[in-house]
Structure 1
């Protein structure tokens, strides 16, 4: 029976589809490769694996890899207890073998060497990457080939490149990308990793200098900092790399000559301070420009880098360049978005006798502005309007919609001397006809001082989380009255109003759902967390109260922006 026929008998089960990014990583590996899930079932394979095994990807996916492929040297099924690959798979560790056997679709055996390693497939899924290539029989007298690097086998080199791709492309934070980059280079390839980056102002900055001390990576901040400009005519290795000219090997003698530039002086100092005897320097390029240079250095390792090592260092630097370029573009977009959002949000008005403060925090993992907003402004009758809201979406359209809603609310509130519910009813009617806002939530309130010196709030709530009122002695409760439908539903219903007294020394908190929503937990959990922390912090000055409340309450897994508006009523005079 051929292996293809055996495939019909081997149990196949549905598996989750793999991402296009993961398939791209598999295709980038220069030999056969596939990924299995936590049960050992194949999730995806590259084209080279299909060619080597004779199975199509569709025939491989869903099958238990050991049962379908792994064989003994005579073609018999290999017991799981005798399978070193299976043992390493269950232990969740990296392992390799120089000789083993896979079954081809036509029933013949493929003599292979393999390497497996745990692999992050995304969405917190645990997978294992299997990399293999055929092993040809060689005459006993033939001399073993020199490995591509002094420390890595061919399979380890391919696995490192695959890991580099997935590690560097899965973050949009420059600092995190650099941390992952040096973790890939040190200590597997080198004892030292140095990254010099060219800033937006065309200055060179020695951003990272890391040394491996055992399994610990030690940052040498004393060797980091600004560097002299890149000389255009210098033929010294780092200068050439920073101009994107070429990758080069170098050693202390390279910089023993009379320095031709300030960078050469700094390089001589680097060799003296680190004790490196051999380095490989490669440009870090994006598709548009040179971003910097990667230096891998050896001091404790007695083996010097060889010319055959440069392609691997170049490949790693090339992948780092693409990742850093994406991260820089993301950070620029995020900065523009945050600046735009901050300019759209208003300054707090001065209300005699009342303290007021507001905060806006963008989504931690989003590159776009959001629809969360707050507002406070005086009204013609001497009262003060408060508003907080959230336009559905996390993009420029949401931000534009937010600005429209806020400006329309101001116009209606100023021109119409009516209850908050009526103002919001008019706003709801208008946004459905003259804006692109699909749905939004908001609270619109009016606060004013009574003749006896007390303060009163009247409000209506359009589908928004309720305000929180904390007394001076730490009693906290939500103002749940006045709750109606969110904006944009098209339902023709009257909106309710509610009123409450604001006791002397009390603090009122208006907020958006990003402060309380935590994936995996109910909304009540977030509301209770906010209430408890607000009660504990109410004795602090209002600015400190607001900052600490955001720091303590905002969920770590939050991926939403947050707006918060807080005000404090003056305490009674002693």
Structure 2
């Protein structure tokens, strides 16, 4: 068995390659086991034929290279950090060491599990290095058989993964967010690809997410996502069985090479072709009552395939994912019902000649899509227009029900006997105390009338609500703080006051609830000042653009409250 070493005329001493350390003649003569020699810096100086054959590399590929960078890998085929390399530690410490398990990259790209022995070796006077001998583990038949599976994860790592899965998935109520979190938990730790197929409420199949680990990033493959063919009820193919709730399965690229038995099988064949997956583990995602979908983890870059030993961990992950997705779907179903309810509770803006008017409602981020914040605008029998903005305590379905009662009673009182705003609100307060299931509420109620000179007059009363904001065409702002009184539902019999102002031409009046200006990070005065400044800067925007931009700029991100918003703009001055 010959040793391969550079001599005086060796081509390895010249050219762009790393230098090859000079070594004594006959360094590896008589060494029968696969072996190579490195200098004190870890550069390969010599290798025998047995090592070249085992590593499937030529002398040109091996000599002069850093052994750690070229050969050493972790159990997933990734370059091993130098700080975690026992072999390099032994070299630098000039100590003898051996290991039963080490992973080496072969010339054909495969991963080889080997035992190794390293001992210091004198390369010449004052020059030390190391001799490395390699031998195959007894249980290894070939590189694919002994490449590790996810069962190589320690018990602590498995428990940590399951705990993180529970934490990550139960902390969101958004289905799409939950799916992306699931992909990030499993890729690249367990696989190179994550694919999620979901069953809709109408039993249709949708490929909801396909994620690839590429260049250190998770890349979503939208081209592989979308609707899927119907789920066959008798197909024995792995994905079809998983979507019916059957046990998890390991599949390979050849699984879907035969004649397809369904449209889903055709799509699976396409998935394997497009992704280059050679091995996949497919497990059902089960909710409390039924199957929600399936998770496919695929390997294309790493060489080891999934085995049956990997499936229990995958099933533990999908069991947690199923509970989280079940909760998220239930929440989204409730939100959909709530949105429909909200659309019926909040009115359409009336068309008033000469005036522009618009309204917005932004639900509380972490609550149902309805709440106690509301707005209203409606014509009165004497030709005036009523405006209202209010807030019933809470932002849930109970608050929404209370809001509907208050709004309907306000309309009845204002319509039946048009009076000053303060009189209407006084009657409303008395009714709330005796007939409505409303703990407390704030509101601004106003009458808007036009004069012969073309200007509009606003008369209002305020029951403990943030003051309306008036913005002129040239950007001057003022809060309408007059007419302020106590909120509804206190039982206090205090007289309420009215206030009035003439609105300038092309002016914007803003009515809003406290969710627009309150924050846990600053006082409401800071929020009001932000509202004033941004409204002034947007004064000449079209009313819809003004409203949307103001909400986006002013509403605090940390405020878990809904927002009702009503804005109107008076006509420009007469020519």
What is the rounded CA distance, in whole Å, between the counterparts of 2:151 and 2:434 in structure 1? 70
Aligned position for 2:293: 292
Whether the aligned pair in 1 keeps the contact of 2:174 and 2:328 (CA below 8 Å) is yes
> How far, CA to CA, are the matches of 2:557 and 2:368 in structure 1?
18
In 1: Cα distance, 2:159 partner to 2:251 partner: 25
Q: Secondary structure at the match of 2:459?
A: strand
CA distance in 2, matches of 1:395, 1:423: 27
Give the corresponding residue for 1:217: 218
Deviation at 1:142, TM superposition (A): 13
DSSP-derived class of the 1:178 partner: helix
Task: Report the 3-state secondary structure (helix = DSSP H, G, I; strand = E; otherwise coil) of the residue aligned with 1:341.
Answer: helix
Please give the alpha-carbon distance, in whole angstroms, between the structure 2 residues aligned to 1:227 and 1:151: 34
What does residue range 508-523 of structure 1 map to in structure 2 within 5 Å? 508-523=509-524
> How many residues get paired?
436
Contact 1:150 1:303 in 2 (8 A): no
Report the alpha carbon displacement of residue 200 of structure 1 after superposing the two structures with TM: 1.8
DSSP-derived class of the 1:197 partner: strand
Q: State whether structure 2 residue 512 is matched by structure 1 residue 536.
A: no
Q: The residue matched to 1:269 in structure 2 has which SS?
A: helix
Structure 1 residue 389, shift from structure 2 partner: 0.1
**Aligned to 2:358, what secondary structure does the other structure show?**
strand
Question: Cα distance, 1:143 vs. partner?
Answer: 9.9
Partner of 1:70: none
**Alignment gaps of 5+ in structure 1:** 1-94, 97-140
Counterpart in 2 of 1:375? 376
- Output one character per residue of 1:378-419: Cα deviation in whole Å (capped at 9) or x when no partner: 111111110010001122221111111111111111122321
8 A contact 2:346–2:374 mirrored in 1: yes
Structure-to-structure mapping, 1:10-49, within 5 angstroms: none
1:148–1:154 CA contact under 8 A, matched in 2: no
Q: 1:17-49: per-residue Cα shift (whole Å, max 9, x none)?
A: xxxxxxxxxxxxxxxxxxxxxxxxxxxxxxxxx
Distance in 1 (CA, whole Å) between partners of 2:147 and 2:157 is 14
- Aligned position for 1:39: none
Q: CA deviation at 1:335?
A: 1.2
Tell me which residue corresponds to 2:175.
Answer: 174
Contact 1:510–1:566 under 8 Å retained in 2: yes
- Return closer, same or farther for 1:425/1:452 CA change in 2, 3 Å cut-off: same
Once the two structures are superposed, what CA deviation does each residue of 1:223-271 show, in whole Å capped at 9, x if it has no partner?
A: 1111111111100000000111110000011111111111111111111
Whole-angstrom distance in 2 between the partners of 1:418 and 1:223? 64
Map of 2:206 onto structure 1:
205
Q: Does 1:158 align with 2:159?
A: yes
CA contact (8 A) 2:149 2:306 kept: no
Q: Say which SS state the counterpart of residue 444 (structure 1) adopts.
A: strand
Instruction: Report the counterpart of residue 344 of structure 1 in structure 2.
Output: 345
Structure 1 residue 368: deviation in Å? 5.2
Q: Is the 8 A contact 2:368 2:395 kept in 1?
A: no
- Report what 1:503 is aligned to: 504
Shift in Å at residue 151 of structure 1? 4.6
- Please tell me the root mean square deviation across aligned C-alpha atoms, in Å: 2.0
Contact 2:385 2:447 in 1 (8 A): yes
* 8 Å CA contact retained: 2:368, 2:397: no
Tell me the equivalent position of 2:564: 563
Structure 2 alignment gaps of length 5 or more: 1-82, 85-136, 141-145
Task: Report if aligned partners of 2:205, 2:229 keep a CA contact under 8 Å in 1.
Answer: yes
2:403 maps to 1:402: yes
In the superposition, the TM-score normalised over structure 2's length comes to: 0.74
1:7-86 equivalence runs, <5 A = none
Aligned to 2:230: 229
Equivalent residue of 2:166, what SS? helix
Alignment of 1:80-99 (within 5 A): none
Q: Retained in 1: the 8 A contact 2:469–2:477?
A: yes
